[in-house]
Amino acid sequence: MNKRVLIVEDEFIVANDIACFLKKENYDVIGVASSVDEAIVYIEKERPYLVLLDIHLKTKLTGIDLAKILQLRSIPFIYLSAYSNKSILHEAQLTKPYGFLVKPFREKDLRVSLEIAAYHLLHSENYNSQLEQSLQQNLENITVSKDWKQIFGELANVFQSNIPYNYFHIALKNDDQEFTLGFNRIGLKDYQIIGVPELSTISKIDTETIQKTVNERKFGITSGVYDGQLFEEVVQKCAFENLISKFFNVESAMFISLSFPYNIKLELAFYNRKSQVYKSSHLDVFKKTQKEIERLVLPLLQVEFTSKDQSKELVKTTVNAAAFDRIIGNSAELLSVFDNIRRVAPMPSSVLILGESGTGKELFARSIHDLSLRSKKPYVVINCGAIPENLIESTLFGHEKGSFTGATEMRIGKFEQANGGTIFLDEIGEMPLDMQVKLLRVLQEMEIERIGGTKTIPIDVRVIAATNRNLEEQVEAGKFRLDLYYRLHVFPIYTPALRKRKEDIPLLVSYFINKICKEKIEVTKQVLNKMMDYHWPGNIRELENYIERSVLLAKNSCIDQFQISNNNSAVDSHKTTTAILKPLFTMERDYILSVLRICKGKVYGEGGAAEILQIPSSTLNSKIKKLGISKEEIYSSGIN
């Protein structure tokens, strides 16, 4: 294995200690840099396997600045910092490091971080290799044709399966002809073809001006990733890029320029509504697939260009969408999640699903399993927040007969049950610290020990974890281990809040109505508009509960009023209410009761009252008893 390491640290003693340790561990230290400029010299001379990088360099350019350069070059790095507060963790996380070490650290901490980085790097290399193979195979499956629109459409489909984009532009030309076409993604399997007339309609600019803008677009923009300031510069210089940026709301791009015999040039432009999506590894993929692309595009320029041909409005992809049947919507935010799931599902990597309560994290986890090579194997779900602390180890890893009082028989744990398949650890943020240590060891060694057992049991399990908590804050507060966080954070997936995908609300409303009742229920346009304006703090779960209530109260098979229950306002931080003077005891009781009603009496787990109130479930149970809240009161609210 290539084990060349560059140390970027301006404290001599710290840098020297790290260098001595690395040499003892058989790493090749290629240099110690005290500034970004010095580090770049080392990197240009000899590409390192890994960079250990101090965030707070006492120079004009910080470690964060160097991290952005390393990210573009696909060089992994581990941050070193004397601080681990929320703002630093957040800023650092945006650059996607392979680890984070807080000074002062022990040799053991550094060793674990290096092991985690190696784990991440291995899966990253496997992912890139699989990406190349997948793209190569998909290109080989395209039948050669002289219909340029058909070929462009098939290329758009193939690239979407491998390269994330919201808008894709393809241009092919030689000395005599030029074909250009755009593809605006509007659904998991659908694209709207964008030519000059469509651009004119969308932008409300006359077709002559649009045609001139397309014609004047400079062919052969340097291949590369354009993000942040680089993307802004391209947008300012190129009228066409400015048009795409403005009307399709994109924030980053990747340009691929390929040259073929007979002076044929092909340009592929991928645009994304998010920044920091594209990497140099995406560019490398095309170097190994150029021959297959050449096979498809050369025949296109041997036929006459017929610009009057009418193209189909939508292009259907061959994506297997069955795994997403339970997830309703086609917003850009949701499609981005689908893309990430399709890319990570075939890999053995751990996945961490992050998002607010009620966003459907368990559905996304199931989709990852269904699309994986383990789909025919066991899928085991466990809610870490719903298991008492004294039972969680036994539940996860099992126990032998007689290992503790009450252990009257041997019990197989959830990890053994999931062997060969996937285990979904929901609410991982609720796991006690001592169990986090044991879980980390299992993830590293892929073996378990039952309580009271004397032998280790090898396992083959893919781990998916989820939480609605901010794990960076948990790490800062000492409630979640940093090494476990990075072990799970191999491939994070962020589930969007409903307020960020409001265009999906009409589809969700229709779905829930059909799910709840067989008769046809209409929703007035006025009510639907109010639903779109509401911020839905409880996300999809709150929307489903609201639709259920509204269907029960609907008159003449029509939902014509939008009324959010007073109970919901208990957790509605955006709503202004009139202050009513009550004793503190009464206010606390009323508030807890209202939250329990919203949660339908559920205390534990995701969407439970303890989660909303942000207190331990044991504390909430004590308060329920102390305040004298009965089950009859909870279930007398009319929300069933």
Residues whose CB is less than 8 angstroms from the CB of residue 152 and which lie 6 or more positions away in sequence, other chains included: 170, 179, 181, 183
Name the residue among 13, 131, 26, 4 with its Cα closest to residue 77.
4
In contact, 516 and 542? CB cutoff 8 Å = no
Cα(176)–Cα(160) distance, rounded to whole angstroms? 30
Mean pLDDT of 624-636: 79
Q: Is 4 helix (H, G, I), strand (E, B) or coil?
A: strand
Which of these ranges, 22-26, 297-301, 362-366, has the smallest mean pLDDT? Answer: 297-301
Distance, in Å, from the CA atom of 634 to the CA atom of 608, rounded to the nearest integer, reads 13
Residue 86 has a pLDDT of: 64
Q: To the nearest whole percent, how much of the chain has pLDDT over 90?
A: 32
Q: Which residue has better confidence, 604 or 370?
A: 370
Cα-Cα end-to-end distance for the chain: 59
Residue of 430 and 162 predicted with greater confidence: 430
| 457 band by pLDDT with thresholds 50, 70 and 90 | very high
3-state secondary structure of 320: coil
The pLDDT-based confidence of 308 (bands split at 50, 70, 90) is very low
97 preceded by a cis bond (ω within 30 of 0): no
| CA pair distance 424, 610, nearest whole angstrom | 21
Query: In the structure, what pLDDT confidence band is assigned to residue 614 with cuts at 50, 70 and 90?
Result: confident
Residue type, 218: K
- Kindly report which listed range (52-56, 252-256, 579-583) carries the lowest average pLDDT score: 579-583
For residue 598, the model assigns a pLDDT of: 82
Q: Taking residues 579-585, what's their average pLDDT?
A: 55
Q: Which residue has the higher pLDDT, 460 or 566?
A: 460
Which residues are CB-contacts of 576 (< 8 A; sequence separation ≥ 6)? none
What pLDDT score was predicted for residue 212?
A: 86
Q: What is the mean pLDDT of residues 385-412?
A: 87
Q: Is the pLDDT of residue 637 over 80?
A: no
Q: What average pLDDT does this structure show over 259-265?
A: 82
Please give the radius of gyration of the chain, using alpha carbons only, rounded to the nearest integer. Answer: 28
Question: What is the reported pLDDT for 583?
Answer: 61
Higher pLDDT, 568 or 479: 479
CB 507 within 8 A of CB 523: no
Residues ≥6 apart with Cβ < 8 Å to 103: 14, 80, 81, 82
User: What is the spatial distance between Cα 148 and Cα 296, in angstroms, rounded to a whole number?
Assistant: 9
Q: Which domains does the chain have, with CATH numbers?
A: 4-128 (3.40.50.2300), 141-316 (3.30.450.40), 322-496 (3.40.50.300), 498-564 (1.10.8.60), 577-640 (1.10.10)
Q: Is the pLDDT of residue 396 over 90?
A: yes
* 517-564 per-position pLDDT tens digit: 877 888 999 999 999 999 898 899 899 988 988 888 887 788 888 877
For 452-528, where are the E strands, in sequence order? Answer: 457-458, 462-467, 491-494, 522-523
> CA 411 to CA 78: how far, in whole Å?
40
Give the tokens for residue 502. 């409001």
Convert the pLDDT of each residue in 125-171 to its tens digit.
666 677 777 788 888 888 888 888 888 988 988 888 778 899 999 98
Mean pLDDT of 305-316: 38
Q: Which pLDDT band holds residue 309 (cuts at 50, 70, 90)?
A: very low
Least confident of 10-24, 243-257, 300-314, 591-605: 300-314
From 7-11, 58-62, 371-375, the region with the lowest mean pLDDT: 58-62
State residue 8's pLDDT score: 94
To the nearest whole percent, how much of the chain has pLDDT over 70?
89
Cα distance between residue 602 and residue 617, in whole Å: 10
Given a cut of 80, whether residue 638 has pLDDT beyond it is no
Residue 618 has pLDDT above 60, yes or no: yes
pLDDT band at 579 (very low <50, low <70, confident <90, very high): very low
DSSP state, 409? S
- Of 64, 90, 91, 62, residue with least CA distance to 77: 64
Helix (H) or strand (E) holding 113: helix 107-140
Question: In this predicted structure, what is the pLDDT of residue 493?
Answer: 93
Which residues are within 8 A (CB) of 318 and not within 5 positions of it... i.e. 6 or more apart?
157
Instruction: Among 136-150, 166-180, 383-397, 414-428, name the most confident range.
Output: 414-428
Contact 66, 42 (CB under 8 A): no
Write out pLDDT tens, residues 317-334: 344 456 677 899 988 889
Local confidence band at 505 (pLDDT 50, 70, 90 cut-offs): very high
Query: What contacts 24+ positions apart, CB below 8 Å, involve 578-585?
Result: 585/627
Average pLDDT on 573-602 reads 68
pTM as predicted = 0.63
Given a contact cutoff of 8 angstroms between Cβ atoms, the answer to whether 457 and 449 are in contact is: yes
